[in-house]
Amino acid sequence: MATVILNRLSSHRVIQRRHLLKAIIMTQTLSMIKSVVVYHSGYGHTERMAAAVAEGASATLVPIDSEGNIAEDAWAKLNAADVILFGSPTYMGGPSWQFKKFADASSKPWFEGKWVNKIFGGFTNSASINGDKLNTLAYFFLLAGQHGGIWVNMDIKSSNTKASLRDDLNRMGSNIGPMAQTPADASPEEMSSGDLETARLYGARVANIAAQFHPMNP
């Protein structure tokens, strides 16, 4: 009986060590993941969302300017990244023209296969509850597919009961990526804290998924 107990204790310690080692490796791997959030923001709302995603993913922010351009050295950052996250407001049922210009310009890394097998995600904001935001996320998903990337979905259950509040997590009920809704007359500072926290948690999830694909992770 004593031998059985000792064997079980020994086995339990081995399992504990394995879990600890796995946690240590995951932490080290996460610190090695290079993430970039490339986004366009018309009035500052999507910029706040981008900052929340970047906080969760420990990512570098790459803004798309009002002319649809990014800094020249930003292309090198995107090419070197393990994770690329797209962000744009939803205008007229899709991403802004500035984001589309960036997407078309990404044909150069596409020709060279620079973004193949990278981890991708995306997020969007609009003034309306629906606003056809899904079309914007679907556009991001297809763009990632064009580049041969791997898309990461959400894992946050929808807030969809009578008790649900504006600042709940995933109140938009999205599964493909975070959606935020900000009234047309609201400032970026008046955005839903739940929408921003949803974005932050999504960024963290994408980085964690990327770490699982890293060569260092057994």
One domain, residues 16 and 104: no
Q: Average pLDDT over the chain, rounded to whole?
A: 90
Beta strands, E only, the chain: 35-40, 60-64, 83-91, 94-95, 119-126, 150-151, 179-181
Q: What is the pLDDT of residue 7?
A: 63
pLDDT at 4 over 80: no
Please state the rounded mean pLDDT for residues 97-122: 98
CA atoms within 13 A on the CB side of 105: 17
**Beta-strand relationship, 94-95 and 83-91:** antiparallel
Is residue 218 in a domain? no
Q: State the total domains in the chain.
A: 2
Q: Is it the case that residue 211 has pLDDT exceeding 50?
A: yes
Same domain, 24 and 59: no
Q: Other C-beta atoms within 10 Å of 167: how many?
A: 14
Above 60 in pLDDT, residue 218?
no
Closest CA relative to residue 82, chosen from 131, 26, 140, 121: 121
Q: How far apart are CA 140 and CA 212, in angstroms?
A: 22
- Determine the structural domain holding residue 116 and report its residue range: 34-213
Query: Which pLDDT value is given to residue 213?
Result: 82
Same domain? For 81 and 156 the reply is: yes
pLDDT band at 111 (very low <50, low <70, confident <90, very high): very high
Q: What pLDDT, on a 0 to 100 scale, did the predictor assign at position 21?
A: 45
